[in-house]
Amino acid sequence: MGRKVEYGYRWIVDGQDEGWKTGYLYQGTDKNMRNPLGAFDPGKHTVVFRLLSGVKATKRLSFTVCDACT
């Protein structure tokens, strides 16, 4: 079994910071997912994933959920 490496991250959804969370890399990989997009009300939204430990990085996604899509 490979080494387990801890890392810290945050989800910021429509400006609301969901707080510091901890994930673990096993053999250099991890899959981090949040609630499905169906959880969003109609309108414009922005989701930010912020990696806080190790190599710091930020990924941002903006999208619109239409009334007919819900």
Q: Where are the domains of the chain?
A: 4-29+40-69
What is d(CA 46, CA 25) in angstroms, rounded to the nearest whole number?
26
In sequence order, what E strands does the chain have?
A: 4-13, 16-17, 21-26, 43-51, 57-65
pLDDT at 15: 94
**16-47 residue pLDDT tens:** 998 898 888 876 666 666 665 557 888 999 99
Q: What is the value of pTM for the model shown?
A: 0.74
What is d(CA 58, CA 9) in angstroms, rounded to the nearest whole number?
10
Residue with the bigger pLDDT between 67 and 49: it is: 49
